[in-house]
A = this chain, B = another copy of it.
Amino acid sequence: MRISFINDYNSAGHPDIINAVLAACPNKYIGYGLDEESEKAKNAIYKLIGNNNAQVHFLMGGTQTNLVAISAFLRPHEAVIAPKTAHIQVHETGAIEAVGHRILTAETADGKIKPQDIRSVVQQHGNEHMVKPRLVFISQATEYGTIYSLEELRELRKTCDELKLLLYMDGARLAPALMSERNDMTAQDIARLTDAFYMGGTKNGLLFGEALIISNPDIGEDFRFFMKQKGGLPAKGFLLGLQFYHALESGLYFSIAKQADTMAGILTAELKKAGCPFMADTYTNQVFPIINDDIVRLLERDFLFETWERVSETMTCIRLVTTWETTSEQISAFVSRYLSLIKI
């Protein structure tokens, strides 16, 4: 069997989490997320973000969370501003348009949108013949594994305030971002500086589940109606609550992200040492080396990974994703094989 660096959702979940679910089998819960496990998880999140007044909702996956949130936050003529590489733009099959909203995109070098990008989009939209930009969509970490700094987030907030825009953060990979060695923001910063964001569970040890936090009291009214209407209010909401509660309370939510980041750091360092170029710096658990096509083909015999994009006629950027399950041996195996191949 090939060693997998394919993604961070290729196994069921962390055994501790699944054991927690198993242990709860004898319990009886109220449906639709109104149970005590969800309450405990909410409280754990309140503690984490330092805000007891935010709304916290548990949903099943990232696309679902994005479309439910955005359809609840926007009126029909309002549009989203997002990096051209944003997941909602590239890999969610028009989910946002399907609920009626246009996505206005900005080119970015590294998956991170800048105040001037936002300003530029807004300046091009001034009357009723055009959609009205209303929400800025960012990801932390981004699709390139990069992260915003606290200063950058503050600037985005300032820009949004000035232009009367909402700021929404897709945190499918928020834990690896928060645990990044190069990160300087806290969950409290995020809760304070965004109008809403979500903390991913599916890619971070849970079976599945995302926790949406709405800090802005003006935008979340009747949110549970939207969840139900879009098929995102699971009958067994308690399963999401108990997973998040366990992951947060035990510290697992952050420790496994840390572990994934560490492995990515080692992998990057080793490849750099070997002279390998990268498409983007490594900040979190995604590594983007640029490798000769012939070598890519040979590496694919022993390792599972995605080819990300063609860089030149002979070189391809591939994506290596590490997780809490990635071992030092797997890293070494990859690096050794790479070294042996480039020597030929």
Contacts and interface: CB of A to CB of B under 8 A. Distances in A.
Interface of A: 1, 4, 6-7, 9-13, 15, 18-19, 21-22, 24-32, 60-68, 71-72, 75-77, 79, 90-95, 97-103, 128-132, 202-203, 207-208, 222, 224-236, 238-239, 304
Contacts of A238: 12
A231 B100 contact: no
A11 B37 CA distance: 12
28 contacts: A6-B30, A7-B31, A9-B31, A12-B21, A12-B22, A18-B18, A19-B22, A60-B61, A63-B233, A64-B232, A67-B230, A77-B98, A91-B129, A92-B228, A93-B129, A93-B131, A93-B228, A97-B97, A97-B100, A97-B131, A100-B100, A128-B222, A128-B228, A202-B234, A207-B236, A208-B234, A208-B239, A231-B232
A73 to B, nearest CB: 10
B31 A11 contact: no
A79 B95 contact: no
* Copies of this chain in the oligomer: 4
A236 B208 contact: yes
* Residue among A15, A21, A75 having the largest count of chain B Cβ atoms under 10 Å: A75
A61 B32 CA distance: 12
A202 to B, nearest CB: 6
Nearest to A8: B235
Contacts of A25: 11-13, 15, 18
Contacts of A99: 76, 100
Nearest 7 Cβ contacts at the A-B interface: A64-B231, A77-B225, A128-B224, A94-B131, A93-B229, A93-B228, A9-B235
A239 B130 contact: no
A230 B98 contact: yes
Contacts of A29: 10-11
Nearest to A240: B208
A311 B12 CA distance: 47
A304 to B, nearest CB: 8
A76 B71 contact: yes
A226 B94 contact: no
A121 to B, nearest CB: 13
A283 to B, nearest CB: 22
Contact of A77 (B11, B90, B93, B131): B93
Contacts of A21: 12, 18, 207
B229 A94 contact: yes
Contacts of A227: 128
Given A1-B28, A10-B29, 11 more contacts: A4-B28, A12-B27, A21-B207, A60-B61, A60-B234, A63-B231, A94-B100, A94-B101, A97-B101, A97-B131, A128-B225
B22 A18 contact: yes
Nearest to A18: B22
